Amino acid sequence: MLQHWRDDAYLAWKTELLRTALRRAGYVDADISKPIRTGPGERRRMDYAIRRIGGRIVLGLHRLRSADVIDLLECPVLHPTLMALFAPLRVLLSRVRALRHDGSAIVNLLDSGPDVLLRTDAALNIGDRIALTEFARAHGLPRIAWAQGNDEPEPIAILRPPTTVLSGISITPPPGGFLQASASGEAAITAAVLGALPAKGRIAELFAGCGSITFALAQRARVAAWEGDPASASALRAAANHAGLPGRIAVTQRDLARQPLQAKELAGFAAVVLDPPAAGAATQVAQIAAAKVPVVVYVSCDPATLGRDARLLSQAGYRLTAATPIDQFLWSARLESVCVFAR
């Protein structure tokens, strides 16, 4: 953690992470905007590791490049509502028989409250189910879901609709579904993407998730959205249909890592917006470059994979027209950014 750095030195270092990645991609004179920084206490999503050691519950995060779990007692970046769940969650987990050794909990702070997905290494018994339901009632959770290992989640209790609003549209994300780490980070990403779009023409959105950017894009043009996770694609489609937007948003479930869109499928789009996972999207970006899409807006959470993928665009004749660093992973080596490439 880097809280000890002066703000000017810290932000300069974060900017240099992006500059270095773009330089390695071939953009040696990148004009990088002033970093946008989210504040402490704003993180609304956390993926906790859980370990039972004797009668004690260790609840926290994995040590870097290790299976060890660091017990978390306080976190200055986490939203206070989520931080307040720590102590009672430890008490709950000590009672859950389905947690024998290891598990995890993903908590998303939705507009309707904290949404919890618990994964354990054994099956729930009736006592566990009652305990989870009581926990949801006691702590204002709209929903608590559970899964054994990597199985599909099942809702244990839904006390009210687990909803959040994305660009004015209400959506019900799946349990553990992806959200941007903070609401202000999401707003900064959306603004940077919208500022890069051409005046007209259809938009292809790849790795759309539940619609963090989709509904904002649909205010500008027709959007063809692709998402690999079936539950996220279904949630996005349901929200678009409920909002009366099926004519503006077409959602397709497709694993773009295994089956990337081909150049011929991207023909005719005025812009491609992609927000891949940390591993990037080298195979997909190669097809985007081959399609010669006029504008490519790349939302990245990892400068290294951004640099690798941007090199493909540089080699295909794309120039970098904008680069915006967005620091929503405070005091870490991670950095969000929005980079715009044009032919």
Q: Is 75 a catalytic residue?
A: no
The two structure tokens encoding residue 200: 């007209």
In this structure, what token pair is assigned to residue 61? 């995060």
Q: Which of 75, 210, 301, 339 is catalytic?
A: 301
Burial 321-335 (b: 16+ CB within 10 A, else e): ebbbbbbbbbeeebb
SS3 per residue for the chain: CCCCCCHHHHHHHHHHHHHHHHHHCCCCCCCECCCEECCCCCECEEEEEEEEECCEEEEEEECCCCCCEEECCCCCCECHHHHCCHHHHHHHHHHCCCCCCEEEEEEEEECCEEEEEEEECCCCCHHHHHHHHHHHHHCCCCEEEEEECCCCCEEEEECCCCCEEECCEEECCCCCCCCCCCHHHHHHHHHHHHCCCCCCCCEEEECCCCCCCHHHHHCCCCEEEEECCHHHHHHHHHHHHHCCCCCCEEEEECCCCCCCCCHHHHCCCCEEEECCCCCCCHHHHHHHHHHCCCEEEEEECCHHHHHHHHHHHHHCCCEEEEEEEEECCCCCCCCEEEEEEEC
For residues 272 and 233, give the distance between their C-alpha atoms in angstroms, rounded to a whole number.
18
Q: Dihedral through CA 63, CA 66, CA 68, CA 74, nearest 10?
A: 10
Active-site residues, by number, are 301
